[in-house]
Chain A
Amino acid sequence: MGEDDVTLRVDSISKSFGDFSAVDDLSFNVRAGRIFGFLGPNGAGKTTTIRMIVGITIPDSGEIELFGKRINGTAQDHIGYLPEERGLYKKTKVVDQLRYFAALKNVPQKEADRRIDRWMDRMELSEWKNKKTTDLSKGMQQKIQFIATVLHDPDLLILDEPFSGLDPVNVEFMIDVLAEFRQSHKTVIFSTHLMETAERLCHDILLVNKGKKVLAGSLREVKESYGRNRVAIRVDGAHDLLNNFSGVESIEEKADEKILSMRSDADPQELLRSLVSSGATVTKFAYVEPTLNDIFIEQIGGAK
């Protein structure tokens, strides 16, 4: 399989509840071996979309294909889904719960036991195997939930806010695990509202708002389309020059530098030349890529 193999094809799906349109004509592709960031504010239709992908609900219209086939019961066995709101049976032993979840994904019991041991060992939870959920800390429960999601060795992993409530050590650990998944050419869809995390992990992003696609593409493309119009500078003096330079739209003061937003037709090089010739001491002059956070705020904030 090449880098461009499409794992999941979502073709103009819509879903409404009564008068409320939760997802409206949404289309996107998720490519194999990549981490796909599914971003959007609360209530944007992320969870509704994910529920349709994992087969919990059926779209009113549109089609979802996994590995080129329409989604159905057997497709569910190839998807690992970690919902945002998640839980475990309170009074059931950890190992029994995991066996049950594996059985529901058609994993034979022996194989399931082997994998449970391996994952519990990896998560350093082996001694908790025969404990009940109520004996576990919140972080441990989250790890057990993650194990339940990957026990059937899914080809597509869908994680809804996977890091909420995890301590930094465990977040790093999870990120390692995700990297492994990617290397074995599996696909990860990863929904979050934490733009920093998304920026760090995702190859492709899809930003939705009010059930509609706002922007989509690889992180690279998205950032480039937001262009080279932001400059970070550290300069002594030349206050007036900066304020009066015609290409500068706004100046954001940081602790020891300024971020200039420039009009798209302005040339930052021109500004640099003016600064140097004015005799000001420029210690830093760098293009700033927009952060996902910036893009998010610009897109969603503007849409409001």
Chain B
Amino acid sequence: MRKFLAVVKHEYRKVVLRWSFLIGTLLFPLLGLGFAVVPALIFSIKGEPTRIVIVDREGKLGPRIRSNLSPEKIAQKQAEALKKSSFEPTVDPKQSADSLKNLTEGFVFMPFDLNGKSDEQIRTELNSMAAEKKIDAYLIVPDDLGGKFEFLSRKAGDFVASGMLEDAVNDAVRSERLTEANISENTLKQINKKADIETKAIDEHGREKNSDALLAASFVIGLMIYISLTIYGQVILGAVVEEKETRIAEILFSSARPFELMLGKLVGVGLAGLTQLGIWVTSLALLVGFLMLQTDIAPLLAGAPHITPLMVGYFLLFFLLGYFLFASIFALIGSMVTTVQEGGQFAFPPIMVMLIGFYFSFAVIRDPSSPLSFWVSIAPFWAPITMPVRILAETPPFWQIALSISINTIAICGMVWLCARVYRVGMLMYGKRATLPEVWKWIREA
């Protein structure tokens, strides 16, 4: 037992004390941070307002454009856009508009005297003002609606400002045309209004829940398990091949039983994987917590799926089940081959099996209670990926979870037993790769 623990400790430290582990562990939360927090922070940094002159001889469109560019209007527009793009229908446009108002940089309208100046003079004067940095941009409104608008800006690259201006001009022109055609803005809005469809799932307790957010979360869970299994499978493969390649196995086998060594390796690397997932899950929880505190974004998260600690527990448990299943396959491969490269070729089939499991998780997300979902979520090798997805999408009855755990535990015992037999012979076979009939013989004779 002491030797077993020594192996566990050694393998755990070997993985955790590597730079790649540190980087990999930090990268995920940092990416999450990058996607979720950084844009919010960047938006909260207000840009300098754009100082703009609107040249409008007719005086018809100018006031409309001005009002369209007011901070209230811009914020309202952005909130509407957000509502359209987001899967989150519970956002109240008014509420968001209030919060977004503070986030958006605005326009400042600069006075400019047109009286008695030719177009040419106006241009030259405005251009020199821009050059002196007295103004940032100007807009020349044509005399009739069909004419060409000219927008000249010192900061032509500021696509946010240009975009807003374009929208404001378009809206102004449209309103003007509507007025000319005697149609009120409100009538048009009524005509244009889209039917509002909100998709929600009903869970087994008859409660409504939001399906889009669930879909995303289930997908993330499936992906996380799939990626972790692939990574830690390869870690095991590399560690086994290293001991074989360097002939350390010979020293190890003269010190401890092969079974202790193999199991210690699986457990040690598995704990390292659990550490990484633990850090990820924790940082995800912290991230969500942080976002909740940001009042600006909190409404977006109101419909986030409710993940209970029990679900997190299941998630880690199924990761471990999948890990032991696949890690023992990778250990078996590692003891068969002579180099890491050779091992890479043999690693393809188990990775395919994982990938198929990952694809099955889409079917599970679509219909978590279908017979297909039931079978793939209890089947060995696939359940570790599909069952957590299913639990999140629509928690199945407990007996199914228990059945899945038992079946996969039995499969693990079988795989570890098989692997141990190949491992003790294979690790000492140098020189050439073992063929499958040879491996079969080792299993039978060991």
Say whether A104 contacts B255, CB under 8 Å: yes
Q: How far is the CA of A81 from the CA of B255 in the complex (A)?
A: 9
Q: How far is the CA of A176 from the CA of B189 in the complex (A)?
A: 99
Q: Give the residue of B251, B256, B257 whose beta carbon is less than 8 angstroms from that of A148.
A: B251
Say whether B246 contacts A103, CB under 8 Å: no
Q: A56-B253, A90-B242, A104-B252 are in contact. Are A83 and B2 (CB under 8 A)?
A: no
Say whether A81 contacts B251, CB under 8 Å: yes
Say whether B254 contacts A56, CB under 8 Å: yes
Q: How far is the CA of A103 from the CA of B251 in the complex (A)?
A: 13
Say whether A106 contacts B246, CB under 8 Å: no
Say whether B246 contacts A89, CB under 8 Å: yes
B242: chain A residues within 8 A (beta carbon): 89-90
Say whether B246 contacts A104, CB under 8 Å: no
CB distance from A203 to the nearest CB of B (A): 24
A57: chain B residues within 8 A (beta carbon): 428
CB distance from A82 to the nearest CB of B (A): 8
Against A, the Cβ 8 Å flags (1 = close, 0 = not) of B1-16 are 0110011011001100
Against B, the Cβ 8 Å flags (1 = close, 0 = not) of A34-75 are 000000000000000001001111000000000000000100
Say whether B255 contacts A76, CB under 8 Å: yes
Say whether B255 contacts A101, CB under 8 Å: yes
Number of interface residues of B (CB under 8 A): 24
Say whether A79 contacts B13, CB under 8 Å: no
Q: How far is the CA of A101 from the CA of B428 in the complex (A)?
A: 18
Say whether B246 contacts A87, CB under 8 Å: yes
Against A, the Cβ 8 Å flags (1 = close, 0 = not) of B235-273 are 000000010011110111111110000000000000000
Say whether A87 contacts B247, CB under 8 Å: yes
Q: Is there a chain A Cβ closer than 8 Å to B417's Cβ?
A: no
Q: A90-B242, A96-B13 are in contact. Are A104 and B6 (CB under 8 A)?
A: yes
* Tally of contacts, chain A with chain B, CB under 8 A: 66
Say whether B6 contacts A100, CB under 8 Å: yes
Q: Is there a chain B Cβ closer than 8 Å to A85's Cβ?
A: yes
Say whether B3 contacts A103, CB under 8 Å: yes
A79: chain B residues within 8 A (beta carbon): 254
Nearest residue (CB) in B for A100 is B10
Say whether A86 contacts B250, CB under 8 Å: yes
CB distance from A79 to the nearest CB of B (A): 7
Q: How far is the CA of A264 from the CA of B7 in the complex (A)?
A: 60
Q: Is there a chain B Cβ closer than 8 Å to A210's Cβ?
A: no
A83: chain B residues within 8 A (beta carbon): 247, 250-251, 254
Q: How far is the CA of A101 from the CA of B7 in the complex (A)?
A: 10
The contact sample of 13 A-B pairs, CB cut-off 8 A, is A55-B253, A56-B428, A57-B428, A73-B257, A76-B256, A81-B251, A86-B248, A86-B250, A87-B246, A89-B242, A92-B14, A105-B255, A106-B3
Chain A residues with CB under 8 Å of chain B are: 51, 54-57, 73, 76-77, 79, 81, 83, 85-92, 96, 100-101, 103-106, 148
6 further A-B contacts with Cβ under 8 Å, apart from A76-B255, A87-B247, A90-B246, are A56-B250, A85-B430, A87-B246, A104-B6, A104-B256, A148-B251
The 9 closest A-B pairs by CB, nearest first: A87-B246, A103-B6, A104-B255, A54-B254, A83-B250, A85-B247, A81-B254, A56-B253, A100-B10
